[in-house]
Amino acid sequence: MKQSILNPNNLQTFAKEHKLQPFRVKQIIQEIYDNQNIRFEDMTTLSKDLRQQLDENFEILSIIPETILESEDNIKIWFKTHDNFTIEAVILFHRSKHEKESIKSKVHKVESQNKWPDDLTTLWPDRPLNRITLCVSSQIGCPVNCVFCVTGKLGIKRDLTRNEIISQLLFANNFIKTKFGKKDDQTLRAVRNVVFMGMGEPLINYQNVKKSIEIMIAQAGGFSLGKRHITISTAGIIPGIEQLIKDDIPVKLAISLHAPNQKLREELMPIAKVYTLDKLMKTIDDYVKVSDNRIFYEYIMIKNKTDKPELATQLADLLHGRLAHVNLIPYNMNPAIKLEESDERTIRAFKDILEKKGITVTIRDSLGRDLKSACGQLWYEKIANRHCEE
């Protein structure tokens, strides 16, 4: 089995054995992270012999891309691990209002003429904006098992390694480069934001997530991402948040809150029985004191469950005086449970209550619904197939 070139020790050992000069090692690293190449044959700054030697000894990606689905605002990628599990990552394009209207106009035109192109991707802009987000997975499956989330229904298989996490970003950047080319200034397009909101609970896989973030923010031998452009989303794993405080990990923190009281939170998120709401909020307060970071609170809008006006009042009271921003997330379909999305009017009324009480709030766009890659939907196809078989 080939070694991973993402492990610095492997490359350094190879360089010593083959008497490579330091600048050659630097070139190899630049080809991977700066030039966004995931095949040695494409590394044209290196000699043909060196490329062949590298290919014989190393692999770049620790996971294998298997299937790619595209829509107007997202690209869903299935990867196969070496032990034959499947994980998913999602590239999200934050398109302008003008772009969205242009896409709708094109779709309406082909619908009226009933002349659908063979490649539907021709209906949306061939170049993304600079603001591209990658939603990465940190585990195979998820142990938290929130009621409204598809991923936890198949349980947890294992943690992803640092290299498996990094490989998702390497592939995404290469895919973006290949598909969209360079910007007008001739620099490469790349993922600008990384959110640990894919499969798994990142703070349970703390060490590998931490190591992957170190590479993401590294200026040399890394992706040079801004610290404020990485977000860890957690269901409220208190020991993980405490470790973030100790290690001073300089990224954004999003809390999957989803309920403003202990009883409802336990009903929706079994993990709340272990890490209670009062202890969670105290730990978050400690985190804010140290980091001075605004916390993003994710709140799912489920019809007749989480969208009642009295719950909005409770949420406002809970967050009063705290450095907080609430993201209201419309519930996304889950084949394993019968829940419904709150209607737009109810969501806006909920938002109004929060704002009147001084809480900043955003209603999140449900990017990825068409490919079942929106919040809480990763592994949707596996769960849907299992329910069909049953």
Is 221 within 8 Å of 8 (Cβ atoms)? yes
Backbone angles phi, psi at 151, to 5 degrees: -60, -40
What is d(CA 15, CA 301) in angstroms, rounded to the nearest whole number?
A: 54
Quick count: other Cβ atoms within 10 Å of Cβ 219? 8
Kindly state the tokens that stand for 248. 């001073």
Residue 88 annotated as catalytic: yes
What is d(CA 87, CA 38) in angstroms, rounded to the nearest whole number?
A: 19
Instruction: Name every residue whose Cβ is closer than 8 Å to that of residue 160 and which is 6 or more positions away in sequence.
Output: 81, 87, 137, 138, 139, 140, 200, 205, 208
Residue 146 annotated as catalytic: no
CA-based Rg of the chain, rounded to a whole angstrom?
A: 22
Is 106 within 8 Å of 123 (Cβ atoms)? yes
Shortest CA distance to 376 belongs to which of 344, 339, 324? 339
Catalytic residue among 135, 146, 149, 375: 375
Place of tokens 């007008």: 184
Handedness of CA 39, 163, 142, 247 (dihedral sign): negative
b/e 320-350 (16+ beta carbons within 10 angstroms → b):
eeeebebbbbbbbbbbbeebebbeeebbeeb
Catalytic residue among 72, 88, 298, 341: 88
What is d(CA 249, CA 243) in angstroms, rounded to the nearest whole number?
A: 9
> Which residues are annotated as catalytic?
88, 375
